[in-house]
Structure 1
Amino acid sequence: MNLLPAPPVNADNRPYRDGASAGRLMLPHCGACGHRFFMPRYQCPRCWSNDLHWTPASGRATIHSYCIVRRAALPAFADRVPYVLALIDLAEGPRMMSQILGENALQAHIGAAVELCFETCADGAQLPQFRLVHHG
């Protein structure tokens, strides 16, 4: 499987990208109103404060919704089809989009428990992804 290109790093997402490089999913947490959110940005989308603190997420989550992609939109994804793209509800509250990885990824369903994993990108950067939790 081809390695994905790394997402760009900028001032807003640097703590998120640095956390991923260290094997942690970091979420912005507003010091003014307590809101945890995702996508990384420079101010809280609830109260507009820029008093942000970055805290690690547990890595526990569930699938809110998903689709099975059968035709790649970009050449970097061509050898992955079919693959599962999902909206993930993190245990801490925020929702994020991720690919579901693993041999059993096509068994994904709404409400399925997933856990954090990392995929190495072409430049060595780590990309937070998820895989289904095996029960039993």
Structure 2
Amino acid sequence: MATAPRYWRENPSRYNMYGIKCNSCGKCFFPPRVICPVCHRKSVGKIETIKLKGEGKIFSLSEVHEGLEELSLQRPYVLAMVELDEGPKVTGQVIDCDPCDMKIGTKVRVTMRKLSEEGPSGVIHYGYKFIPVPEKSP
């Protein structure tokens, strides 16, 4: 029998981006849902869970100078809406970059990072953030 901490650590969606693909209309969505928001009832039984690549382009962005206290050491930081290659748009922080270098169309990929923890010996919360993909030189 798995303990609660082990179950929590070994849950695949803790460290990967899983979405759904509707085999009725072909669209992908994140986060996963039970029924396709486009097809509705037509999608019943036609939904499959997929692992998203986590790659895409910045669709919209904002440079944050005053935000959450937990992120005070990271200010200023970039918050972006990323259009994933599979189609869904996802909001997340763009890290490991100079905010001035980020622009609409910049290619990024997801990375899982520690977001917070509950006290000094509590549960660690992981989540996704985005990092820029270096451009290939010709």
Q: 1:89-110, CA deviations, whole angstroms, 9 ceiling, x for partnerless residues?
A: 1011111111001143542111
Judged with a 3 Å threshold, the aligned counterparts in structure 2 of structure 1 residues 126 and 50 are, in CA distance, closer, same or farther, namely: farther
Q: 1:10-69, CA deviations, whole angstroms, 9 ceiling, x for partnerless residues?
A: xxxxxxxx4442x32111112333221123332211011343221111222110110001
Aligned residue identity for 1:83: Y
Separation in structure 2 between the aligned mates of residue 112 and residue 103 of structure 1, nearest angstrom: 11
1:44 aligns with 2:36: yes
Aligned residue identity for 2:57: T
Judged with a 3 Å threshold, the aligned counterparts in structure 2 of structure 1 residues 33 and 102 are, in CA distance, closer, same or farther, namely: same
The percentage of counterpart residues that share the same residue type is 26
* Aligned 8 A contact 1:37 1:94 in 2: yes
SS of the residue corresponding to residue 70 of structure 2 reads helix
Aligned to 1:13: none
SS of the residue corresponding to residue 124 of structure 2 reads coil
Larger helix fraction of residues:
2
Give TM-score, length-normalised by structure 2.
0.73
* CA RMSD after TM alignment: 1.9
Give TM-score, length-normalised by structure 1.
0.74
1:29 aligns with 2:24: no
Aligned to 2:124: 124
How many equivalent residue pairs?
A: 117
Task: Between the two structures, name the one with larger relative contact order (CA 8 Å, sep ≥ 6).
Answer: 1
Segments ≥4 residues shifted beyond 6 Å: none
Query: After superposition, where does 1:48-63 map in structure 2 within 5 Å?
Result: 48=40, 49-51=43-45, 52-63=47-58
Unaligned runs of 5+ in 1: 1-17
Separation in structure 2 between the aligned mates of residue 105 and residue 56 of structure 1, nearest angstrom: 29
- Larger mean Cα displacement after TM superposition, 89-98 or 118-127: 118-127
Separation in structure 2 between the aligned mates of residue 40 and residue 130 of structure 1, nearest angstrom: 19
* Aligned 8 A contact 1:89 1:95 in 2: yes
